[in-house]
Structures are given as structure tokens and as C-alpha cells.
Amino acid sequence: MREAARSASGAMSENRKVHIKSFGCQMNVYDARRMADTLARDGYAETASAKEADLIILNTCHIREKAVEKVYSELGRLRGMKADAESHDRKPIIAVAGCVAQAEGKEIIRRAPSVRVVVGPQNIHRISELVARANEGHAVVDTEFAVEDKFEQLAPPKHEITRARGISAFVTVQEGCDKFCTFCVVPYTRGSEASRPAARILAEAEGLIAQGVKEITLIGQNVNAYHGAGTDGRDWTLPKLVARLAEIPELKRIRYTTSHPRDMDDELLEAHRDIEKMMPFLHLPVQSGSDRILEEMNRKHTRADYLRIIERTRKARPDMAFSSDFIVGFPGETDRDFEDTLALVREVGYAQCFTFKYSPRPGTPAADLDAQIPEDVKSERLYRLQELIETQQHEFNLSCVGKELDVLFEKPGRHEGQIVGRSPYLQPVPVIAPKSIIGSVARVRINELRTYSLIGELAGNEPVAPAEYSSPEVNALA
Ligand code: 5AD
Ligand code: SF4
């Protein structure tokens, strides 16, 4: 017999299944997990199959036009699946969460009437209540920016779920953005910058670490602008928060993303210099190498400012590698501007990058500019930029061959006896090693590069530390 569970409305409901499909950034991955944790209280177990789900949530991204189109085509597909389920006497609920939900609101229900719940990123803590109302036959839209602290109301993950998710976890430390780059919808969909109090972040991190998490990535749209209330009554900065987290002995690695060049201050660079657990890998989007375009984008930094930050970061941490985001074909971008971008890429030398064609977003200032760039020019520039970046990525990966790198081991690999970990630069590193190595950091001699993986062997003969963490759930992730 299926177990009964208490639902948000207090009524008893049968155990049900939820399928969440997330698009876009890490913030969405985090939000999807927290929605799953909150719905677990109502008896919803997660399933990888949309077909068997009683609740399907599309957790959407609005950053580029294609992302929105993807949501509507996905909804078209789900409509067929829902009709099929209904002919078998099942009534799955379809919900749209995330930034498309925020931006489009009830327009989603108008265009896709099979959708019963539309919930913005600031309201996901109300998911249980919204789903309960949808189950009663209502269509509900909740996109008002909530005044209460959503993080306080989202449920923490059950212990076995944290363990099943593996040894690396995200923790949101701030949300939203006050920078208003002229191409970007984030200030409108995620709202203005808000930092969580340090005590709550630490409590969440400690809960994860107690269940075997060894690496935490602090996430936020403007994570290095973090300024949350500290445990000492003062506002804490990101480096202060990282320093406090680094004191937890079981936590081996700390990362943070995404940063804005304007907020890369001395204190953060000193933290990179002094805190061994901070990984030497920085995602620092620049968007363009042309001062004229940076100005038009309202980035509030110049090309020279950015290059200076890179230089100072390398000084603080010589083994630092960099990644960035680039937009090609921003309105008014000339061949000369684009050449400036290529030159900046050559000057920095990236380990990896994300590249995008400019996509006009309704309501943002750049969408109204006259000098929109033709699609074929954007495509050509994207191709050239990607070619350069791929060469750099390959060179960076090759430069790791012959070195010894610290690897945090995560899960069994595809081949017998293999365990896969990640280098400080997030490259996958498969190694022949005992399962007990999962959850610990060991030095690996890198012998070969195979596509994007670094193939290596454990360096030295020191015995592998006894398993601090090795659960069947994690092993099942392979
Ligand atoms: N068009 C193309 N790319 C965009 N990004 C944000 N808005 C747009 C847009 N309108 C990219 C930026 C940002 C990343 C998350 O998405 O490069 O850093
Ligand atoms: Fe968007 Fe710019 Fe804010 Fe990043 S800094 S979220 S690109 S407005």
C-alpha cells in the first residue's frame, strides 16, 4: 500500500511523484532542488520520468529568446502527454516556475491552457499551497515579489536526498541584481539584490556537510556583491563568509559564482591568496572587449579595469584559471569592436568560456536600440569566437598533462575500478582507485588528455584515507 503523507493544506494525500525539468543557470538547479525538498513534505517523490509524474514543473530561464521558445515547445509536448494520462484517468498538474513564469505571468496560461500553476522565482516557497489549489481545479499565478523570506520557508532536503545528490552542493547566498546591464532581464525577473543572513547560510552548509558534502559552491547572480547580516551583528562580505566556511574541517572545497568585475575587491583577492580551500578557478564575465560596447552595455567597467583585475588575481593566486561569458552582436557592435573582444580573449587566455549571440529581451534598454545586428553576422562572430576559445580550452587542458593536481573524488566512473573526481578547474579526472576514496581529495599525476577528461593515476604511495563518506546512493550516481 502507498504511504500517506500530510499535504500543505493539512489534508492527508497519497504519495505522488514530481518531475522537475530545469533550464538555465545554477540558481535554477538550486531552486528546483528546494522545490523538490518542499514538495517531499507533501508526499511527492522525485521522478526522472515526466510520464509517470503527477506534477510536472518546468523551471524556466528567460535570459535569451531561445530559452523562452524552448519552454513553449516543451509545453506543447506535455499537452499531448497530459491528454494521454487523462484518458487513463490520471490528472497530472503542469506548473511553470522560474524567470519565464515571472516575465510572462498569466500569458503562459493563455498560450498554454494545460498549465495550472505559474510561479515566479521569488515565490517558490509557496509551491505546496499553489499545487494544492491546482489540485482543487484552479489555475493559479503567483508572480508578485514576496515580502517574506522564501529561504526560511523552503524545506531542507531529507538526509538521504542530500547523500544521493553527491558530495558537491550549491548554496544560494544572494539573489537578484542592481547592476542593470542594458541587455539583461535578471534585475526584472529576479528583482533587486538581496543577501541572505550569514547564520542561515552557515546552518544550511553545516546541514549539507553533516550528510557528507565536501564541496560547496556559493551561488548568486552577483555573488561577490554579497553583504548579508553576519553572526556578529555586522554586515559580512563574501570573503568573510568564505573564511568562516573554510573553518569547517570536513569541507574540502569552496567555490562561488557568478561574479561581477566591479565587486572583485582587495579583500576577495586576499582571500584567494590566503584560503587554501578556495578553488583557483574564477568565472568572471566580461561580455565584450570593446570599451564602446561595454559602455553601451552599462557594465560600469572598462577593458583595462578587467585586465587589471585578472592581473591582480593572478598575482594573488598564480595558479588561477579564468572563465567568462561573452555576448556577440550587441546592437551597434562593429567588426572593430568584435576584434577587440578577440584580442581580449587572446590577452587573458581562458580555461573555458560561455558565448552567446545577443538576444533582444523585451523591456530591456538594448532591445530598443536601432542598430540591431543581422543574424548572419552574429553567427559568424560567434563561430570565430568559439573557435578561439576552444583552442584556448584545449591548450589549458593540455597544460595540465604532466602536472600533479588535487582531485576531489565524486563517484564511480564508467569503467570497472574507476573513480571519477574533479580537478580544481572542474575537469573530470577518472582514476583507478578504491571506492573508499570517494569524498576525499588526493593528488593525481595527469598523464593524458582525452577530449575534456584528464586521465591520471594516484600520485605517491600514501594510503588512501579511510572512507569518511561512501554511500550506496552516491555510488548509484555512476
Ligand atoms: N542576450 C545574450 N546573452 C545574454 N546574457 C544575458 N542576457 C543576454 C541577452 N539578452 C548572457 C550574459 C550573461 C549570461 C548569464 O547570459 O553573457 O553573463
Ligand atoms: Fe544581468 Fe548584468 Fe546583473 Fe549580470 S550584472 S545579472 S548580466 S544585469
Task: Tell how far the Cα of 359 is from the centroid of ligand 2, in angstroms.
Answer: 14
- Specify the pLDDT at position 123: 94
Q: Report the b/e string of 382-393 with b at 16+ CB within 10 A.
A: beebeebbeebb
Task: Tell how far the Cα of 267 is from the centroid of ligand 2, in angstroms.
Answer: 22
Separation of alpha carbons 330 and 113, rounded Å: 35
**Assigned C-alpha cell, 272:** 584567494
Ligand nearest to the CA of 301: 2
- Specify the pLDDT at position 146: 75
- Specify the pLDDT at position 7: 44
Cβ neighbours of residue 13 under 8 Å, at least 6 residues apart? 4, 5, 6, 7, 42, 43
- Specify the pLDDT at position 258: 95
3-state secondary structure of 381: helix
> pLDDT tens, position by position, for the chain (478 residues)?
333 444 444 444 568 999 999 998 899 999 999 999 999 999 999 999 999 999 999 999 999 888 888 899 999 999 989 888 888 888 899 999 999 999 999 999 999 999 999 999 999 999 999 999 999 999 999 998 876 788 888 999 999 999 999 999 999 999 999 999 999 999 999 889 999 999 999 999 999 999 999 999 999 999 999 999 999 999 999 999 999 999 999 999 999 999 999 999 999 999 999 999 999 999 999 999 999 999 999 999 999 999 999 999 999 999 999 999 999 999 999 999 999 999 999 999 999 999 999 999 999 999 999 999 999 999 999 999 999 999 999 999 999 999 999 999 999 999 999 999 999 999 999 999 999 999 999 999 999 999 999 999 999 755 444 444 333 333 332 2
Tell me the sheet residues that pair with 98: 60
**Assigned C-alpha cell, 162:** 542530500
Q: Is 380 left (phi over 0), alpha (psi -120 to 50) or beta?
A: alpha
Task: Tell how far the Cα of 404 is from the centroid of ligand 1, in angstroms.
Answer: 35
Ligand nearest to the CA of 378: 1
| Cis peptide upstream of residue 258 (ω within 30 degrees of 0) | yes
- Checking 243-246 for CB contacts under 8 A at 24+ apart, the result is 243/271, 243/275, 244/198, 244/202, 245/202, 245/205, 245/216, 245/218, 245/277, 246/275, 246/276, 246/277, 246/278
Cβ neighbours of residue 196 under 8 Å, at least 6 residues apart? 149, 151, 172, 173, 174, 228
Lining residues, ligand 1, CB within 6 Å = 63-64, 183-184, 285, 287, 325, 327, 356, 358-359, 361
- Specify the pLDDT at position 14: 61
Task: Tell how far the Cα of 297 is from the centroid of ligand 2, in angstroms.
Answer: 10
